[in-house]
Structure 1
Amino acid sequence: MSFEEKPYLREVRLKRDEVDNFDVYPFCIPAVKELEFLEFHPDVTFFVGENGSGKSTLVEAIAVSQGFNPEGGTKQSTFSTSRTHSELHQFLKTIKSFKKPRDGYFLRAESFYNLATLMDEVGYLSGYGGKSLHEQSHGESFMATLLNKLRGNGLYIMDEPEAALSPARQMAAISAIHQLVHENSQFIIATHSPILLAYPRAKIYQFSESGIYEVSYEDTEHFEITRDFLNRHEEMMRILMEDD
């Protein structure tokens, strides 16, 4: 696949001239307030940041702008349990390649239970390995989706997929993602996982109070804090547990 064909999603821009008030949600979130544009890697792009930094808000808006259900699933998933997503997607301009992905999925940890319930109700389990997602652990159902539902040549957007995955399963997820990348797929992932973030050559965007900026893996807080804790875990535990 040539560069002109991939990435499927090249860039997203905030239509700032259409925003009436940057003091209201979600435009008041610093990362959104300062957003001009983001360029995506042909293979894997990560969003990282503290809770409330806006990474899930933006990844959700990107997914909705591409036609996905805000609660997750494929573009054909039309269920809705609650309307909690923002209208940010209406203010995004996306720039794509001329080639459209043949597959797509929005994997969202927060509402995956609702999606699994829908799959049971409609009896559509073949795409997930033929077994009810509710009859598997949370991690097993996530991996069943990653290994069976995602078929390649696709645009896959994920919000905190590590939420249900053990460290070993996160490493297995990297292998699955890498296989799909080799099958001409593109990933945009919001994550807290220093394991997933280690995927080589990925573009990593840090969400902070000063906006969004690109960082290397070793410069992410996730890597630095995890490394320091593991290298000095006894000392860190003493500091964390000592009385004031």
Structure 2
Amino acid sequence: MLDPHSLYLRNMVLKREEVPSFRTYPFNLPAVHDLASLSFRKPVTFIVGENGSGKSTLLEAMAIAWGFNPEGGTKNFAFETMASHSELHRYLRLVRGAVRPKDGFFFRAESYYNVATTIDKLDMEKRGGPPIKASYGGKSLHEQSHGESFFATFMHRFGGKGLYLMDEPEAALSPLKQMSMLTRIHQLVKQNSQFVIATHSPILMSYPHAEIWLLDESGLREVELEDTEHYIITRKMMNDREKMLDILLGEEQ
């Protein structure tokens, strides 16, 4: 397991003096506006916040600055279906550890379909050698359900000793699969891997000894799982479902 001094990604710094304006996108987002730096001290870091807080934009910029394709995949993926990423990566400086990871993947639920399509296309054009899909379980990702294809990547393509940046990996996973993903994350952490995950899932956030960074109107701050709205609201809903539904549906007298 990696210690704080051997993490592959140790710090992220926003070059604020080079930002043209903090009044325009993406620099006006809560995730960016007051950001100076973010240090990584644990093998697993979660970035959480409401929709529109900028967590996915921040993770995307980190991935591009590291050398990943904006739409996801490994550093060898160079496809582009639509250039929709922001320019934030140009203003980030990543502080890397002394040891380089042997594996890496930028997983983003939003454009995972494009990654799967590119793998099939490259395999059709491939001349000799094993197909790329062999690294993803041997079956086309398009020939599986959305959740199954997600999990095939986690189980087969993630090989350990890697840096894995993940944007909402729970999007197609059932609660049971999310718990299975916790097991897989732990297996890979024990194989000297580092994760940075943007998520809404309190199940994933429950990974022990992880850092949880919350984005809200005040900027970026570290919190405990029990202090996140994700946990609080889910707990209230499950513990007092009838009262919550009365409030939500306007039936409370």
TM-score w.r.t. length of structure 2:
0.94
The answer as to whether partners of 2:2 and 2:192 remain within 8 angstroms in 1 is: no
Deviation at 1:42, TM superposition (A): 3.1
CA distance in 2, matches of 1:130, 1:102: 22
CA distance in 1, matches of 2:194, 2:42: 6
Deviation at 1:104, TM superposition (A): 0.2
Which of 174, 177, 183 is the matching residue for 1:175? 183
The answer as to whether partners of 1:31 and 1:207 remain within 8 angstroms in 2 is: yes
Structure 2 unaligned segments of length 5 or more: list them. 124-131
Q: 1:4 to 1:167 in 2, by over 3 A?
A: closer
Aligned-pair Cα RMSD in Å? 1.3
The answer as to whether partners of 2:43 and 2:210 remain within 8 angstroms in 1 is: yes
CA distance in 2, matches of 1:75, 1:5: 24
Deviation at 1:2, TM superposition (A): 6.3
User: Could you say which residue in structure 2 is the equivalent of 1:207?
Assistant: 215
Aligned AA (1:222): H
CA distance in 1, matches of 2:108, 2:45: 16
Correspondence list, 1:190-229, <5 A? 190-229=198-237
The answer as to whether partners of 1:68 and 1:77 remain within 8 angstroms in 2 is: yes
Correspondence list, 1:66-105, <5 A? 66-105=66-105
Structure 2 residue 134 is matched with structure 1 residue 126: yes
User: Could you say which residue in structure 1 is the equivalent of 2:64?
Assistant: 64
Secondary structure, in 3 states, of the residue corresponding to 2:6? Answer: coil
CA distance in 1, matches of 2:5, 2:191: 13
CA distance in 2, matches of 1:6, 1:227: 36
The answer as to whether partners of 1:72 and 1:111 remain within 8 angstroms in 2 is: yes
User: Could you say which residue in structure 1 is the equivalent of 2:126?
Assistant: none
CA distance in 1, matches of 2:162, 2:236: 37
Deviation at 1:119, TM superposition (A): 0.9
Aligned AA (1:225): I
Q: 1:4 to 1:165 in 2, by over 3 A?
A: closer
The answer as to whether partners of 1:50 and 1:207 remain within 8 angstroms in 2 is: yes
CA distance in 1, matches of 2:170, 2:214: 18
Q: How many residues align?
A: 244
Deviation at 1:31, TM superposition (A): 2.1
The answer as to whether partners of 2:3 and 2:43 remain within 8 angstroms in 1 is: no
CA distance in 1, matches of 2:218, 2:135: 42
CA distance in 2, matches of 1:94, 1:141: 30
User: Could you say which residue in structure 2 is the equivalent of 1:20?
Assistant: 20
Aligned AA (1:44): V
Work out the percentage of aligned pairs sharing the same amino acid. 57
CA distance in 1, matches of 2:42, 2:73: 22
CA distance in 1, matches of 2:160, 2:102: 8
TM-score w.r.t. length of structure 1:
0.97
User: Could you say which residue in structure 2 is the equivalent of 1:138?
Assistant: 146
Structure 1 unaligned segments of length 5 or more: list them. none
Provide Cα deviations, 1:145-204, integer angstroms capped at 9, x if missing partner: 000000000000000000010000000001001000000000000000010000000000
Aligned AA (1:136): Q
CA distance in 1, matches of 2:18, 2:56: 22
The answer as to whether partners of 1:4 and 1:97 remain within 8 angstroms in 2 is: no
Deviation at 1:227, TM superposition (A): 0.5
Structure 2 residue 226 is matched with structure 1 residue 231: no
Deviation at 1:102, TM superposition (A): 0.4
